[in-house]
Amino acid sequence: MKSLSPPCVLAVLVSGNGSNLQSIINSIESGVLNARIACVISNNPGAYALTRAKSHGVPCIVLENSGYKGRKEYDAALVEILRGYGVELVVLAGYMKILSDVMITAFPNAIMNIHPALLPAFPGLHAQQQALAYGVKFTGCTVHLVDCGTDTGPIIQQAIVPVMQDDTEESLSARIQVEEHRIFPEAIRLFVERKLVFSGRCVLIKG
């Protein structure tokens, strides 16, 4: 049954392939997620995520890093665009750029990121490679709110993925992505349905 409340307005920030963007689009199109993607913004003009967005009629904007003096100036431009679209939730789906406090203060408790590890383990780049090098038997993925640190914000959802002895970075990444595509739209749905309660570092789920 269709929801009576207006769809939550999302912006999805991307840098690459966009498989997580695709899972969000699929959840919206199948009626599971009562949201609308107002725009997809990429810092990489070659991101395949842009092709995916366009093929679903989602407006795309490319904001190249080189056009701005630093992260704060870049993020000020980003905030202006997001405000113009009336964005309620900013979704980082493979957005490989650290946000400055300009973005964090503009969207308190309203920026979500997906990370390919069980945070707080293996933050930053190449999380799957870090997990393999450390020799963990299980890793996974985490959806979290974004704060001023790198992958340090309050955790919303996590999923566990086993590490196989013969895993490569590619095979492990592929297994993690299956879980990402499940938990990311689910975490967004909880936000959209106002089921998340923010309490310091902890995010509680109503009901």
In the region spanning residues 24 to 43, those forming contacts with ligand GAR, defined by CB under 6 A, are: none
- Rank residues 3 and 55 by Cβ distance to ligand GAR and give the closer one: 55
CA neighbor of 46 nearest in space, from 91, 77, 15, 75:
15
Choice from 18, 140, 153, 185 touching ligand GAR (CB under 6 A): 18
Is the CB of residue 140 less than 8 Å from the CB of residue 176?
Answer: yes
Minimum CB distance to ligand GAR, residue 194 (Å): 25
**Bridge-based pairing state of the strands 35-42 and 8-14:** parallel
Contact status: 19 vs ligand GAR (CB under 6 A)? yes
At which residue do the structure tokens 């699929």 appear?
26
Asked if 126 is an active-site residue, the reply is no
56, 115, 126, 181: the catalytic one is 115
- Beta-bridge partners for 144: 113, 155
Q: Is 100 in the site for ligand GAR (CB under 6 A)?
A: no
In the complex, least distance from residue 18 CB atom to ligand GAR, rounded to whole angstroms: 5
> Of these, 88, 167, 179, 180, which contacts ligand GAR (CB under 6 A)?
180
- Of 33, 78, 87, 93, which one interacts with ligand GAR (CB under 6 A)? 93
3-state secondary structure of 178: helix
CB of 79 to ligand GAR, least distance (A): 21
Is residue 116 within 8 A of residue 104, CB to CB? The reply is: no
Q: In whole angstroms, give the CA distance from residue 174 to residue 84.
A: 36
Q: By C-beta, is 17 or 34 nearer to ligand GAR? A: 17
E strand or H helix at 94: none
Burial of residue 169 (CB within 10 Å: 0-12, 13-18, 19+) is middle
Q: Is 185 in the site for ligand GAR (CB under 6 A)?
A: no
Q: Are strands 196-199 and 202-205 parallel, antiparallel or unpaired?
A: antiparallel
Six-digit token string for 127 = 């999380």
Taking CB under 6 A as the rule, does residue 186 contact ligand GAR? no
| Interface segment toward ligand GAR; rule CB under 6 A; list 16-24, 72-80, 132-140, 192-200 | 16-24
Report the catalytic residues: 115
Q: Which residues bind ligand GAR (CB under 6 A)?
A: 16-20, 49, 93-94, 114-116, 127, 177, 180
